Amino acid sequence: MNLKEEKSVAAIVYYEDEYLLLKYGLGHWEFVKGHIEPGETEEETIMRELKEETGIDNAKIVNGFNEDYEYYFKFKGQKIHKRVSCYLIKSNTKDVKISFEHEDFRWLTIDKAIRKVTYDNAKELLKKAKKLRSSTLESFL
């Protein structure tokens, strides 16, 4: 069986002290995520996906956070190796209008988000975001 390679971009989105999780059709809770379209940068992709999946367009990418993760899955009998580049995005709104791709969404505190998110790699990314945000906040105090 051939292994198909895919590349996507994801974002941990937060507003003040709450983090956005989306419930996908297969039942798992995760971040905004999508495929890079031809001619797009990763940053352009994640801002487009954020708008398409949540309706949020008043947001910005936070410097200093770009974490990669990877996983394998099967789709229609095809084994797929997916690489994902994850960004941290500060939203200026909690007003979410989820797309047809998702069943639900939640704004949760970081510790509740870590418990709610389905996959271990997503839990680790949230922990890294928490650490970055707390160290950044402390530098302003």
Domains of the chain listed by start with CATH number: 3-140 (3.90.79.10)
* Exposed e or buried b per residue across 36-75, where buried means at least 16 C-beta atoms within 10 angstroms of its C-beta: beeeeebeebbbbbbbebbebeebebbeebebebeeeeee
Q: Tell whether the model's pLDDT for residue 97 goes beyond 60.
A: yes
**Per-residue DSSP letter, 39:** T
Instruction: Tell me what pLDDT residue 135 has.
Output: 80
pLDDT value at residue 1: 58
The stretch 109-128 carries a mean pLDDT of 96
- pLDDT at residue 18 is higher than 50: yes
Residue scoring higher pLDDT (89 or 73): 89
Residue 140 has pLDDT above 50, yes or no: no
Run of H or E including 134 = helix 120-140
Give how far Cα 49 sits from Cα of 9, 26, 36, 93, 115, Å. Answer: 9, 19, 9, 16, 24
Residue 36 has pLDDT above 70, yes or no: yes
pLDDT exceeds cutoff 90 at 2: no
Query: What is the helix (H) or strand (E) element at residue 114, kind and residue range?
Result: helix 110-116
User: Above pLDDT 70, what percent of the chain?
Assistant: 95
| pLDDT given at position 104 | 97
Q: What residues does 70 pair with on adjacent strands? A: 83
Task: For the full predicted model, state whether its pTM sits above 0.85.
Answer: yes
Confidence of residue 136 (pLDDT cuts 50, 70, 90): low
> How far apart, in whole angstroms, are the C-alpha atoms of residue 26 and residue 22?
11
The pLDDT value given to residue 139: 46
pLDDT score at 17: 94
